[in-house]
Every structure is written in C-alpha cells, then in structure tokens.
Amino acid sequence: MPTPKTNKEFERRFITAEEFRFDEDGNTISGYAARFNVWSEDLGYFREKIKKGAFAKTIKEHDVRALFNHDPNLILARTPNGTLLLEEDNKGLHYEAKLPDTTYARDLKESIKRGDITQNSFGFQTVQDKWEMKEGKDLDERTLVEVKLFDISPVTFAAYPQTDVKVRTLLYDIGIDYDALGLVITRAERGMDITESDKEILHTAMSVLGTYLSNEKPLAEEHLETVNEPRLLLTRCKRIREETEVFIGIGFQDGQNKKDAGGTAETS
C-alpha cells in the first residue's frame, strides 16, 4: 500500500475533560487535552486513535498556546514562558496552565468551577499517521503517530465534522452517491489504492457534474426548489468535480473526457 500523504491541514479534536479542575491556590487549570489509544466517534468516513508518543517531539520543540475556545485573542498561557506545562503520561496529553489576571480568565475559572465548561480540545497538524482500510466495514481506521501541536483549549462546544445536508440531497437527486464518492476521495487523499469500483464512482460523478457545468446551469435551481444559496452549492459541486479530476487523472470539457493519465482518449 502506498505511503499516505502528510496532511498539511489544520485539524482539531475534542474530548470530555477528565480531571479537569481549577486550583485556587496556584491559579491554574489542568486536565487532559487528548487520550491515547481510545477510538473516536465517526470523524467523516473514519475513526481515529492517538498513539502514545505522538506529542513527545512537538511539546519539546514548539511554541504551544493555551487558548479559550481556540480564540487567539483569549490567550491563557504559553510554553516558552513556562505558564503552560505539557506532559505525556500513560493516559494522554496532560496540561497545566497558569492563568493571567484578565476578565476572560476569571470568567473561565468560574465556568469551570460551576461545571459549565467540561470539554478540552487541541489544534494540530499531522506529521505522521497510519491508515487501515477496513473491508466490509463503514469506517476506515487512522492512528496518529506524530503531530505538530498548535494549541490546547478548554471549549464551550465540541465541534465535530458534519455533512452539509443540502449538498448531500442535491447530489443524490442528480444520481451521485454522496457517501460513496466522499469515501473514495478520502481514501485517495490518504494515498490508498483506487479500485476499479472506485474509478467507476469517480467517472460517474464526473459525467453527471460535467453535464451540468458544461451548460452552466445552476444545480440548486434545477433540483432544489427551496434552496437560497445556488451559487454556493454550485461552487461546492465544482470543487468535488475538480477533486475527482485530480484522483483519476482526467479533465472534463464540453461533455467529453480529455485524455487520461495514460494518454488514451476516452469518450463519456
């Protein structure tokens, strides 16, 4: 299996806080921003766990912030000046943040004491991960081996990836299996092999979207009577088409496929 591509995107993960507490004497909050070897919920065609050691390098080398709700204007502590301490133990990534004497920090302390804030999060970029394609199962499995950590953050709401219902409905209406297409694209992004069945899904999506785009018809107006964002939906459909072009190595113009990566001309 090919080596998956390094993910350069900024990602976030959330957990319900364990041992999340405020120390009145030390004016600190502490807890876990991540747990090791615990499977996540569905993150969009895959589930994920974090390997112990994934944070070992980054917490030694990088400037990591503690923020409230991932807001850079609400900084709580930083590693370079020692106000944020990060440590891997057997359970996960533990942190302790010495809080500043600011209004938002005092408000956060009160919210933690009352039990209003009960979740932690961390923002990161993947350095190394491992994927397993689970045949016959709905979800592939990802293990984070090493990450670059940007911030840890107590949060009010845990925001998980969500499907855009309008786009899903639109694509199903015009004959494209949204979930199957999404799974193929995410597998391709990981550097996994593309099967003949996967290629057929991509070709079908190309043909359908190409028909509409070549005629410059707004898909939302054609298939959703009550959608108020046809341009946004069309833009998203164009993006899906462009992604499929990348993964199957073809272009689309005037309802016909250009030459594929092998140089053979194809007609839809």
Q: How many domains does the chain have?
A: 2
Helices (H) and strands (E) in the chain, counts: 7, 12
C-alpha distances (whole Å) from 248 to each of 46, 194, 198, 256, 267 are 22, 9, 10, 15, 15
* 210 and 169 co-located in one domain: yes
> Quick check: 17 and 97 in contact, CB under 8 A?
no
* 104 and 16 co-located in one domain: yes
Q: Which residues contact 207 (CB under 8 A, 6 or more apart)?
A: 268
Q: Which residues contact 113 (CB under 8 A, 6 or more apart)?
A: 22
Residue at which a domain ends, from 131, 155, 179 = 155
Bridging pattern class, strands 65-68 and 71-78 = antiparallel
Residue 135 forms part of a structural domain: yes
* 24 and 129 co-located in one domain: yes
Query: According to the model, what pLDDT value does residue 62 have?
Result: 94
Query: According to the model, what pLDDT value does residue 188 have?
Result: 78
* 96 and 28 co-located in one domain: yes
pTM of model > 0.75? no
Bridging pattern class, strands 65-68 and 140-155 = parallel
Alpha carbon 156 to its chain's center: 19
Query: According to the model, what pLDDT value does residue 166 have?
Result: 56
> Quick check: 246 and 261 in contact, CB under 8 A?
no
* 113 and 31 co-located in one domain: yes
Per-residue pLDDT tens, the chain, 268 aa: give them.
Answer: 444 444 567 888 887 766 678 888 889 999 999 999 998 887 777 889 999 999 999 999 999 999 999 999 999 999 999 999 999 999 999 999 999 999 999 999 999 888 898 889 999 999 999 988 776 667 788 999 999 999 999 998 875 444 455 566 677 778 888 777 877 877 777 777 778 888 888 888 888 877 766 555 444 444 444 444 455 555 666 666 666 666 555 444 444 444 444 444 443 3
Q: Which residues contact 136 (CB under 8 A, 6 or more apart)?
A: none
* 148 and 178 co-located in one domain: no
Residue at which a domain ends, from 133, 155, 177 = 155
* 139 and 176 co-located in one domain: no
Domain that holds residue 17: 10-155
* 145 and 172 co-located in one domain: no
* 102 and 15 co-located in one domain: yes
What does the alpha-carbon distance between residue 86 and residue 249 come to, in Å, rounded to a whole number? 44
* 42 and 85 co-located in one domain: yes
* 15 and 146 co-located in one domain: yes
